Amino acid sequence: MSLVEIKGLAIRFGSLHNPIHAVRHVDLSIERGTIHGLIGESGCGKTISGMALLGLLPQSARVSADAFRFDGLNLLDVAKSLRGRRIAMISQDPAAALNPVLRIGRQMDDVLKSHSGLPRFQRRAVAEELLAATGLADPRRVLKSYPHQLSGGMQQRVVIAQALATGADFIIADEPTTALDVTVGTQVLALLKRLVQERALTVLMITHDMDVVAECCDSATVLYAGHTVEAGCTDELLAAPRHPYTQALLAALPDAVAKGERLASIEGHIPSPFAVIEGCPFAPRCASAMAVCRQAKPPERDDGNHCWTCHLEPHHG
């Protein structure tokens, strides 16, 4: 059984007559002990789907799903109670995640105090161990520091150590390298990969960057305008994308230019969250669109390695 199993997730705001569709139909399946990428342009619904997993949606959100499960539990009922116990979050801005006026030692201790039940002297040792596990060379010095005395990369490692301190086995990492320079970002991704292996964690990596998926994700789901359009193992997705949107995303990578290929930009815009979408959400931008694409929802297709939604008949061989 997958750790996370989501089918047909829809999240809307506003009134019944004037709905704002933040998420329209997201399917997401995450295997235990893996890093799963959730990729798409901004506004595609990836961050809000992560917030739903954490039980962090505002009261005004209307959520429905055919299945919305974590480890067999219905997240519509238990997401809030799992947050900080089994599910933790790493955000893109580590400075904002840390309290600027408290030393790291105090902040680590607060997390351990409310999650571990350990006495104070043991909490100190565990805090040092967790900071060391994230690759911080001098945990004692870090514990005595205020956040502003640490670099962005060190702050992100502290945030990761805090996530570990909760005892969570599922971590949602929302663009965790966006605020970091490329080298430090690569180190943070390598750290997450190592922790997944060493501590039997599962990570949902929310990103707009295909390079991040290529670098550290075992599998990924591609979102477009609040819909899952393709999902599968990373190698398959990168080598043989089936959905025209995934193909366009990959063609737009600078790497394609480095290989002498023309940089393709995707013409047009993502549909507005107010729009009523009858057929395929990508139809207005899709170079392969047919009449049926504007009228009917595309069928789900599956070749055994990955699945996608499109009216185009898959070609074999």
If binding is defined by CB under 6 A, does position 311 make contact with ligand SF4? Answer: yes
Query: How many Å is the maximal CA-CA distance in the chain?
Result: 69
Closest CB 304 distance from ligand SF4, rounded Å: 20
User: Which residue, 1 or 276, has its beta carbon nearer to ligand SF4?
Assistant: 276
Residue 289 in the binding site for ligand SF4 (CB under 6 A): yes
Neighbours of 207 (CB within 10 A): 25
> Where does this chain touch ligand SF4 (CB under 6 A) — which range of 21-29, 165-173, 183-191, 288-296?
288-296
CB atoms within 10 A of CB 237: 29
Q: What is the DSSP letter of 66?
A: S
| Rounded Cα–Cα distance for residues 222 and 106 (Å) | 39
Q: How far apart are alpha carbons 95 and 290 in whole angstroms?
A: 48
Q: List the x/- string, 224-253, binding to ligand SF4 by CB under 6 A.
A: -------------------xx---------
Q: How far apart are CA 286 and CA 82, in angstroms?
A: 40
The least distance separating ligand SF4 from the CB of residue 313, rounded to whole angstroms, comes to: 10
Considering only 206, 283, 306, 307, the residue that binds ligand SF4 (CB under 6 A) is: 283
Q: Which is nearer to ligand SF4, 288 or 305 (CB)?
A: 288
The span of 119-127, 129-137, 264-272, 284-292 binding ligand SF4 (CB under 6 A) equals 284-292
Minimum gap (Å) between residue 314 Cβ and ligand SF4 = 11
Among positions 28, 111, 277, 310, the unique one binding ligand SF4 when judged by CB under 6 A: 310
What gap in Å lies between CA 103 and CA 149, rounded to an integer? 10
**Residue 312 lies near ligand SF4 (rule: CB under 6 A):** yes
Which CB atom, from 45 or from 94, has the smaller least distance to ligand SF4? Answer: 45
Least distance from ligand SF4 to the Cβ atom of residue 310, Å: 3
| Residue 70 CB, nearest approach to ligand SF4 (Å) | 30
**How far apart, in Å, do the first and last CA atoms of the chain sit?**
31
User: Are 165 and 111 spatial neighbours (Cβ–Cβ below 8 Å)?
Assistant: yes
Decide: is 282 part of the binding site for ligand SF4 (CB under 6 A): yes
Q: How far apart are CB 286 and ligand SF4 at their closest, in Å?
A: 3
Interface region with ligand SF4, contact rule CB under 6 A, candidates 131-139, 143-151, 184-192, 286-294? 286-294
Task: Give the one residue of 70, 150, 298, 307 binding ligand SF4; rule: CB under 6 A.
Answer: 298
Rounded CA-CA distance 203/169 in Å is 8
Main-chain phi, psi angles of 33, to 5 degrees = 75, 20
Rounded-to-integer distance, Cα 249 and Cα 188, Å: 24
**What DSSP string describes 161-205?**
HHHHHTT-SEEEEESTTTTS-HHHHHHHHHHHHHHHHHHT-EEEE
Interaction of residue 44 with ligand SF4, rule CB under 6 A: no
Tokens in use for 90?
A: 């790493």
d(CA 126, CA 90): 20
Binding stretches for ligand SF4 (CB under 6 A): 243-244, 280, 282-283, 286, 288-290, 293, 298, 310-312
